[in-house]
Structure 1
C-alpha cells in the first residue's frame, strides 16, 4: 500500500516536472521568437531611419535648387527693371488717362526738376491699376544713367524746396505730393517696406534702394548694409 502511494506521488511529480519542462520549452521558444521579432524590427527601424535621412538630403538639395532658381529669376526681373521709374501718387485731371496723357504728365515733371528728357528717351509708359485717386505711372527709359539722373534731380528738387516739394499741381491735378522711385520687383518692394519699418524701429538714419536693391545705414559714418532677405531685419547682422 505504501509503495503504491509512493509510486503514485512520484508519477505525479514526474508529470508536474514534465509539464514544467514543456512550459519552459514553450517559453524559451516564445522568447526566441520575440527576440527574432525585436531584431527584425530593429533592422527595419534602422532601414527606415536611413530612408528618412536620404529623403531629407534629397529634400534639402531640392530646396537649395529652388532657392537658386528663385534668386536667378529675381535677378533677371530686377535687371529688366533697371531703367524703369515709378511716378507715384499722381493726380491727373483726366480720370481715364491715355498714353499721351501719361507722357504729358511725366514730361511736365521732368521739366519741373530740370532734367532734359525727350520722348525718344522713353521706351514704354503705362499706369498701374489703382483703387484710389492717386495714379502710379511706370516709365521705362532707354538708359539706366538717365534713370539715375532723374532720381537725383528729384531728390535735389525736394531738398531745395523743402516747403514746396513736388506736387501734382505740376501736371494739372490737386495738391498731393509726387514720389519718384525705382520700379521694384514684388520681392524687393516687400523687403523695402520691411526695411523702412525696421529703420524706424531701430533708429536707422537711411533706408533706400539702389539698382533695385534695398540699403540701410545706421548713421553717416557707419557701415552700409545691403538687405537681401527678411531674416536680416530680425537678426544681429543688420545692426552695424
Structure 2
C-alpha cells in the first residue's frame, strides 16, 4: 500500500494501522487518533467506519431541547396586587403579568425586573453549558486514561518479554564466554605442543647432520668428482681420508641463490664423527685456504669449511653474527652444530640455541 500523510501530525503513514474519519474522510495514525494498537485491533469493522475525529465531533449538533431554559426557583413573579412572589420549584412556565398591574409598574422598575430575570436565565444557561463541557472533558479524560492504561499494560508485557530475552541472551553469552576460555586454553596447549614438536624436529634434523661438513668456495666443473675434491682439501689441511670413510659427497642448492655465478657448496658425510671433528679442528688453523692451494681454481676463490647446519640454525647464526658485531664481541663459532659466542678471552662462552637466547648477548 502506498504511503499517505496523517492529517494530525502530517507525517507519512508507512504501516496499515491508521483510521479514516467518517465525517471529513481524512486519515489519522493511531497516536493522533488517540487509539492504542490493542484497542484498534479490537474495534469492529463497523466501529472503524463510524469513527470521527475530534474536530468533526465538535461540529456535531447537540441533542435534546436546550433552547427553553428551565426557570430556577430564584425567579421573581408579580402577584395580582403588584407584589413579588416566588414560584414553585417545578414551575417552568412564564407567568404573564395582569394588565391591571402593569399600570402600576414604572419603566425603571420593569427594566430592573427584566434585568434580574435575564441575569438568572444567563446564569442557568452558563451553569448547564459549563456542566456539559466539564462532563465531555471528563469523558475524554477517562477515555484517554483507559487508553493510557492499555498502553501501559502493553508496554509492561513488552518489557517482560524483553527482560526474558535479555536473561536468555545473558545466559547464552556466559556459555559462549566459557566456551571461548576453553578454546583459548586448548589453543595455548596446542601452540606449546606444536612449538615442542618443531623444536624436536629441528634437533633431529640437526642431529642427522652432525657428521656432515659443508665446503663453500669450490668452483664448479661439469667433469668434477666431489669425493676427490673432499680428499684433496682434507689432505691439504693435514687430515687425509680414504674414500671408504666418506658416505657421500655432492653439491647442494644454497639457501638463497644470490648469484648464478656463485658455486654451490659441497656437503660430505663422514662415517665417523671423530674424523669430522679432526677436519673441523684443522680447518680453523687454515682460515686463509683458497682453491689454488688444492689445485682446483684461482687464488681469489677462498674455501670455507663449516659444520652442516639446518636452515633455521643458519638464520640463527646470521642473527648472532649481526648482534656480535654490534656489541663488539670477539668470538663466535659452532661446535657439534651448536652456536657459541664469547665477548673476550676472559669471559665465559654463551650457548645460543634459539632466537630468544640472542637476548643473552649483552
Alignment pair present for 1:65 and 2:221: no
Match of 1:96 in 2: 222
Bigger mean CA offset, 187-196 vs 15-24: 15-24
* Structure 2 counterpart of 1:173, from 297, 301, 306: 297
> Which of residues 204, 210, 227 is equivalent to 1:76?
204
Bigger relative contact order, structure 1 or 2, given CA contacts below 8 A and separation 6+? 1
For the residue of structure 1 that corresponds to 2:333, the secondary structure is strand
Q: Deviations over 1:26-52 (max 9, x none)?
A: 222222222222222222222222222
Aligned match of 2:327 in 202, 207, 214? 202
Q: Give, in whole Å, the separation in 2 of the partners of 1:221 and 1:37.
A: 73
More helix by share: 1
Superposition RMSD on alpha carbons, in Å? 1.9
> Which runs of 5 or more structure 1 residues have no equivalent in the other structure?
159-164
Instruction: Give how far 1:76 is off.
Output: 1.2
Matched, 1:187 2:315: no
Q: TM-score, normalised by structure 2?
A: 0.59
Cα distance between partner residues in 2 of 1:196 and 1:138: 23
What is the deviation of 1:3? 5.0
CA shift, 1:103, in A, is 1.9
State the shift of 1:6 in Å.
Answer: 4.1
Confirm or deny: 8 A CA contact 2:340 2:349 kept in the other structure.
Answer: yes
Cα 1:10–1:129, aligned 2, differ >3 Å: closer, same or farther? closer
Task: Write out per-residue CA displacement over residues 74-112 of structure 1, whole angstroms, 9 at most, x where no aligned residue.
Answer: 1111111111001111125xx2144xx212212111121
> Residue 164 of structure 2 aligns with which residue?
36
| Residue pair 2:218, 2:296 contacting (<8 A) in 1 also | no
1:225 is aligned to 350
Give the distance between the partners of 1:37 and 1:224, measured in 2 at CA: 66
Matched, 1:113 2:208: no
Q: Does 1:54 align with 2:178?
A: no
SS at match of 2:345: coil
Which structure's CA Rg is the greater one? 2
The reply on whether 1:140 has 2:269 as its aligned counterpart is yes
Residues 10 and 179 (structure 1 numbering): CA distance in 2 closer, same or farther, change over 3 Å?
same
Structure 1 position 139, deviation (Å): 0.7
d(CA) in 2 for partners of 1:172, 1:7: 125
Which shifted more, 2-11 or 122-131? 2-11
User: Quick one: distance in 2 between partners of 1:73 and 1:21?
Assistant: 76
Instruction: Work out the CA distance in 2 between the residues paired with 1:77 and 1:201.
Output: 30
Name structure 2 gaps, 5 residues minimum.
1-127, 255-259
Helix, strand or coil: the match of 1:46?
A: helix
SS at 1:214's partner residue?
A: strand
Match of 2:280 in 1: 151
The total of aligned residue pairs comes to 227
SS of 2:289 mapped into structure 1: coil
